[in-house]
Copies of this chain bind each other. A is one copy, B any other.
């Protein structure tokens, strides 16, 4: 099946499966089943089997999945056999937390540069990174062959920064600014906006 024929919603579940079996491996487990995985994730075993079957045959009827093998295969499918360098734009609280965040590296990503337009922040050290001037963004991303970026600017600047990132060759953007951004075909955007998740839950409160 061609890459773009598999629905995005299926692709979106693979990282969740990978996270769960990685956890099982940490707990010392070697084999799992679609039933067990489904129970842990609150989805049906049938859905897991159907999702995985789009990419090949990863387990045998009756013996389940070998966790190490399934983990390798999911990482290969998701292009995680390399570590993707990432640019962070915005060195405020969110950008700083992302620069410090330890959870990316063993999941295939690493923040390798951070930019801000505030002269007071440029040159400052945040974790392992030195804040660079936003004016250098295009050149640094191009030279570093960076394909992935995280936008952590105020909403007002997010679209402008996105345009610069796309121009510099970025193909995947994780947007923390609470605003919808527009990108050309061939560039992916995902959103992290905690308030939308909270508002979804507050509907059910009271």
Contacts and interface: CB of A to CB of B under 8 A. Distances in A.
A196 B15 contact: yes
Interface stretch (A95-103, A115-123, A130-138, A160-168): A95-103
**Total identical chains:** 2
B180 A20 contact: yes
A205 interface: yes
A84 B172 contact: no
A155 interface: yes
Given A20-B180, A84-B205, A204-B188, A104 B198 contact: yes
Interface stretch (A45-53, A62-70, A74-82): A74-82
Determine which residue in A16, A19, A84 has the highest number of CB atoms from chain B within 10 A of its CB, and name it: A19
Given A108-B202, A199-B108, A174 B194 contact: yes
A93 B100 contact: yes
Interface string A17-54: 01110010000000000000000111000000000000
Interface in A177-206: 178-180, 188, 190-206
Contacts of A109: 195, 198, 202
B104 A194 contact: yes
Interface residues of A, number: 61
A16 B171 CA distance: 23
25 contacts: A12-B200, A15-B195, A15-B196, A15-B197, A15-B199, A19-B178, A19-B179, A19-B193, A78-B200, A78-B202, A79-B202, A84-B198, A84-B202, A103-B178, A104-B198, A108-B195, A109-B198, A109-B202, A147-B205, A171-B204, A172-B202, A172-B204, A174-B198, A190-B198, A192-B197
Interface of A: 3-4, 8, 11-12, 14-16, 18-20, 23, 40-42, 77-80, 84, 86, 93-94, 96-98, 100-101, 103-104, 107-109, 147-148, 150, 155, 171-172, 174, 178-180, 188, 190-206
